[in-house]
Structure 1
Amino acid sequence: MTLIFKILPEALWRDAMNAGVFHGAPVDLSDGYIHFSTAEQVRETAARHFAGKTDLVLAAIDSETLGDALIWEPSRGGALFPHLYAPLSPDQVRWVQPLPLGPDGVHLFPELDA
C-alpha cells in the first residue's frame, strides 16, 4: 500500500462528504485533475501552497485503489506527483486528520505511514 495525500480546506472536505464525491479544489478543477502528494512531498506542498492557512485537513488515500485514473506525472524539479483524472469517492479515503498550524506557523502533520 502506498499512501498519497490531499491537503484541502475542512469545509471543502465536509461538502464532498455531504455530496458523496470530491471533484477537486478550485486548482484541481482548473487543471483537470486532483493533485496529490506523496509522504515525501506533502510537507513542501503545504509550505508552498498553504502557508499560514488554517482550517485545513489532510486526507490519506491508498493509491492502489485508484486504478488507471491515477497517473504519476513530472512536476516540481522533475519529481513524479500523483494526479487523479477522476472524481474521488470519500469511501476511497483511509483517513482524514486536521492539519493545524504550530506555534512557528508551520503545519503539524500526523504520522503519514498509518
Structure 2
Amino acid sequence: MSERPLLAYKVLTASQMAELEAEGTFAGAPIDLTDGYIHLSTDAQLTETVDKHFSGQDDLHVVAVDLAVLGDAVKWEPSRGGQDFPHVYADLPLNAAVAYGPLERDEDGRVRLPIAS
C-alpha cells in the first residue's frame, strides 16, 4: 500500500470560505451533506475535481487540510475512476486548514496549491 498524503484539499465557494473563517468550522457543501461526508482531493486529484465539479464557477477558494488533525474522521474510499479519495466524516475545523486562498491556475491549467504564510 502506498504512503498516504499528509495534506488534502477542499474547494469552497466564497460564501463557504466565509463560513469556515467566521464559524471556525464547516459542515459541508450540499453534496457533502447529501453524501454524509466532506469530499476532499489529493493534490494529484484536485485539478480534475475542479474541472468536473466546479466548471464555470468563479470566486472559488482552495483549502489545504492537514489530515493528521482530523485523525480517524478521515476515511480513504474509492471514488472517481477507482481512485481512493479522502473523505471526512466530521465537520471541517478551521484549525485543520494549514493554508487557503483563491483558486488560481498555473500556465498549464493546473490548480495552484495554497501556500502557508
TM range (shorter): 0.7 to 0.9
Rounded to whole Å, the distance in 1 between the matches of 2:114 and 2:29 is: 24
- 109 and 92 in structure 1: CA distance in 2 versus 1, 3 angstrom threshold: same
Q: Which residue of 2 aligns with 1:32?
A: 36
Superposed CA RMSD in Å reads 2.5
- State percent identity of aligned pairs: 41
Instruction: Using the TM superposition, give the Cα deviation of residue 110 of structure 1 relative to its aligned residue in structure 2, in angstroms.
Output: 3.6
Which aligned pairs between 1:19-98 and structure 2 lie closer than 5 A? Answer: 19-98=23-102
Counterpart amino acid of 2:75?
A: I
Counterpart amino acid of 2:92?
A: L
Instruction: Using the TM superposition, give the Cα deviation of residue 7 of structure 1 relative to its aligned residue in structure 2, in angstroms.
Output: 0.5
Counterpart amino acid of 1:58?
A: V
Q: Show structure 1 runs of 5+ residues with no match.
A: none
**TM-score, structure 2 normalization:** 0.85
Match of 2:112 among 101, 109, 113: 109
Asked whether the equivalents of residues 63 and 114 of structure 2 are also in contact (C-alpha less than 8 Å), the reply is no
Count, aligned residues? 113
Q: Secondary structure at the match of 1:83?
A: strand
Asked whether the equivalents of residues 8 and 86 of structure 2 are also in contact (C-alpha less than 8 Å), the reply is yes
**TM-score, structure 1 normalization:** 0.87
Rounded to whole Å, the distance in 1 between the matches of 2:95 and 2:26 is: 10
